[in-house]
């Protein structure tokens, strides 16, 4: 059991692979991929599994947790079942975890605090849950997350994404009907990744052609035109602008 300031915190666990178990107080359950579990650090608890599993844990002050999510007493030892929106949140938190080594403590705190305001968690406090959030509400973020995973595959498109998200293609298209469409969303997510790489000092020696292919672009003229249309400059100019 934790003592001191940590004892006032609540741990949010995101389960990424295989199955684990979560137990606190009178609550005990099996958690799987995509589930989100909660434990209080000021009470005895047990988290484990019969085989190796993967999870990400973030601890937040109880006051922040209760302001954004809900009553810590009521949620301790419980879970939110996997859904498309919890998958998005888990991917988002995984990105935070990977970036945390390059952040100061204050930056990590801000990042985690922002994720504590995710609609899937807040919906539990208001009683809306998953149904209140809706697929369309999370579709842009899910599309970006899926595109990031498959950015190297130029053939990855709406059909593959619909299958991965377990929705019909018509439902996926409707979710993006107010914008340029799902194909444009996938394209812009890939372009955004190239832009981030181009403007990172660590990639100064990486050829633009390598970045282009790594993000699923195989047509050089089409890539250059799309990049300029998105950012108002060529990839070469974007890199030169960062260098000054």
Statement to judge: residues 117 and 205 lie in one domain: no
Question: Total domain count for the chain?
Answer: 2
What does residue 14 show for φ and ψ, rounded to 5 degrees? -110, 120
Statement to judge: residues 198 and 127 lie in one domain: no
Statement to judge: residues 144 and 129 lie in one domain: no
Q: What is the CATH number of the domain that holds 206?
A: 1.10.10.60
Strands of 9-17's sheet, edge to edge?
54-61, 9-17, 36-40, 79-80
Statement to judge: residues 15 and 112 lie in one domain: yes
Statement to judge: residues 25 and 125 lie in one domain: yes
CA angle, 40 as apex, 39 and 45 as ends, to 5°?
65
Statement to judge: residues 171 and 226 lie in one domain: yes
Could you tell me the pTM of the whole model? Answer: 0.48
Statement to judge: residues 169 and 194 lie in one domain: yes
Statement to judge: residues 58 and 154 lie in one domain: no
- 5: nearest Cα among 44, 70, 63: 63
Statement to judge: residues 118 and 14 lie in one domain: yes
- Taking phi over 0 as left and psi of -120 to 50 as alpha, with beta for the rest, 166 belongs to left
C-alpha dist (Å) from residue 8 to 3, 12, 64, 69, 121: 9, 13, 11, 15, 19
- Side-chain-side CA neighbours of 141 within 13 Å: the count stands at 19
Per-residue pLDDT of the chain in tens (244 residues, 90 and over written 9): 333 345 578 888 887 777 778 888 888 888 887 788 888 988 888 877 766 777 777 787 888 788 777 888 888 888 888 776 666 666 656 555 555 555 455 545 555 555 555 544 544 443 444 433 456 666 676 677 777 777 778 888 888 888 877 778 888 888 888 888 888 888 988 898 899 899 888 888 899 999 999 888 989 999 999 999 999 999 999 998 877 7
Which domain-ending residue is among 83, 102, 133?
133
C-alpha dist (Å) from residue 207 to 28, 108, 194, 226, 236: 52, 31, 11, 18, 10
What does residue 35 show for φ and ψ, rounded to 5 degrees? -75, 155
Which domain-ending residue is among 76, 111, 133?
133
Statement to judge: residues 213 and 171 lie in one domain: yes
Statement to judge: residues 79 and 153 lie in one domain: no
Range of the domain at 180: 137-243
Which domain-ending residue is among 83, 108, 133?
133
Statement to judge: residues 19 and 125 lie in one domain: yes
Q: What is the CATH number of the domain that holds 14?
A: 2.60.120.280
């Amino acid at each position: 059991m934790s003592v001191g300031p940590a004892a006032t915190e609540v741990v949010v666990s995101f389960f990424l692979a295989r199955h684990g178990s979560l137990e606190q107080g009178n609550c005990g359950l099996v958690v799987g991929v995509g589930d989100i579990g909660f434990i209080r650090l000021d009470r005895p608890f047990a988290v484990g599994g019969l085989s190796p599993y993967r999870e990400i844990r973030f601890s937040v002050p109880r006051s922040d947790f209760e302001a954004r999510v809900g009553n810590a007493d009521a949620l301790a030892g419980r879970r939110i079942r996997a859904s498309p929106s919890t998958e998005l949140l888990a991917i988002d938190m995984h990105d935070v975890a990977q970036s945390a080594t390059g952040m100061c403590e204050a930056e990590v705190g801000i990042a985690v605090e922002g994720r504590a305001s995710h609609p899937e968690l807040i919906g539990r406090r208001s009683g809306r849950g998953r149904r209140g959030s809706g697929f369309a509400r999370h579709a842009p973020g899910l599309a970006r997350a899926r595109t990031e995973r498959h950015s190297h595959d130029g053939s990855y498109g709406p059909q593959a994404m619909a299958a991965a998200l377990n929705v019909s293609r018509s439902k996926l298209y409707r979710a993006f009907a107010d914008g340029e469409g799902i194909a444009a969303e996938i394209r812009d997510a890939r372009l955004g990744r190239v832009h981030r790489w181009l403007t990172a000092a660590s990639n100064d020696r990486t050829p633009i052609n390598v970045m282009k292919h790594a993000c699923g672009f195989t047509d050089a003229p089409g890539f250059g035109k799309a990049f300029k249309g998105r950012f108002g400059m060529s990839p070469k100019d974007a890199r030169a602008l960062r260098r000054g």
